[in-house]
Amino acid sequence: MAKLLNVSSSPHVRSKVSTKNIMYDVAIAMVPALIWGVMQFGIRSLIVVAATVASCMLSEYAFEKYMKKPITITDGSALVTGMILGLNMPPSIPVWIPCLGGVFAIIIVKQLYGGLGQNWMNPALAARCFLLISFASSMTQFTDPATDAIASATPLAVMKSGGEVAWMDLFIGKIPGTIGEVSAVALLIGAAYLLYKKVISIRIPGTYILTFAIFAFIFGRQDVNYVLAQVFGGGLIFGAFFMATDYVTSPITPKGQIVFGICLGILTGLFRIFGGSAEGVSYAIIFCNILVPLIEKVTLPTAFGKGGKKNGSK
């Protein structure tokens, strides 16, 4: 009797990957961009990111404690939200502004919709857009790493006004911008880690970047330096690998992920080239988050045996 096979309820094969594993892998992948930001803009950058992370984690703890819900701050999701939001901040911003954004991200966008897995848009991006609307002046003052002065224009703004920017400067990161998005090479190191760990697939970021590059070439300038500068400039690389791939707010079907990436590339191109602002990644991702239910509905694979041939007829 001791050798009887005991069969539990399904599923019988369980993955060892957990939400906690995934979130901490994403956090690790953002460390190169954080290190570069601190090297470029100084210790204040680290203070901004640390304060934003603390704001997100404390907001989650306080809300769940007050609502008598299970405490989930150890799953890493609030940490990742805080890091993404902090890395999207200008280094010279007053610390209380991104902290307010952390409260908005966790309580308004995440917890009021039911917590992790229930929010319909990326909390960090929603908070960034909220801060851009509410504190436009502070959110658009960027430090020039060469002079430590407030820069008058980012590389994207220079290109939008007809100027030229060397794409290699944007690839390395010696430019004014937000803490975490200025160095494409640091972000790509983190992206390679996520791909290696199979936390994300290349479908969404690859389709997103390729679609945007084609759009920028056709409707922007037919110049390779311009297209590369547009790809490596602003928040495109950061958004493509770290925000558009969010499990909760992106499609789960392979075809849906490709459609999602194409929509992201087109919308980002429209915002950047034809819109009033030089950037557009955050708004493009949020708009496409809204489209995810529709994308999944039209790209859902047909169930086995449904809609097939009957009795050999066509």
What pLDDT score was predicted for residue 144? 74
* Full-model pTM: 0.87
Contacts 24+ apart (CB under 8 A), 198-204: 199/22, 199/25, 199/26, 199/29, 200/241, 200/245, 201/245, 201/257, 203/254, 203/257, 203/258, 203/261, 204/240, 204/244, 204/245, 204/250, 204/257, 204/258, 204/260, 204/261, 204/264
Residue 286: what residue type?
Answer: I
Instruction: Give me the count of residues in the chain.
Output: 314
Closest to 235 in 3D by CA, of 293, 181, 194: 181
Confidence of residue 7 (pLDDT cuts 50, 70, 90): low
Q: What is the pLDDT of residue 15?
A: 55
Please provide the average confidence, as pLDDT, over all residues in the chain.
Answer: 87
Q: Is residue 305 part of a domain?
A: no
Q: How confident is the model at residue 11 (pLDDT cuts 50, 70, 90)?
A: low
- 309 belongs to a structural domain: no
pLDDT score recorded for residue 5: 56
> Would the pLDDT of 149 be above 70?
no
Residue 109 lies in a domain: yes
Q: How many domains does the chain have?
A: 1
- What are the tens digits of pLDDT across the range 78-124? 999 999 999 999 998 999 999 999 999 999 999 988 887 788 889 99
Q: Is residue 276 part of a domain?
A: yes
Reported as a single tens digit per residue, the pLDDT across 232-272 is 988 999 999 999 999 888 999 999 999 999 999 999 999 99
User: Which tens digit of pLDDT belongs to each residue from 197-235?
Assistant: 999 999 999 999 999 999 999 999 999 999 999 999 889
Question: Does residue 195 lie within any of the structural domains?
Answer: yes
- The pLDDT > 70 percentage for the chain reads 89
Domain assignment of residue 237, yes or no? yes
In a domain, 9, yes or no: no
Query: Where residue 18 falls among pLDDT bands split at 50, 70, 90?
Result: confident
Domain of 23? 19-299
End-to-end CA distance of the chain: 54
What CATH number does the domain containing 274 carry?
1.10.3430.10
* Confidence class for position 275, pLDDT limits 50, 70, 90: confident
Bridge partners (DSSP) of residue 143 are: 150
Please indicate, yes or no, if residue 65 is contained in any of the structural domains.
yes
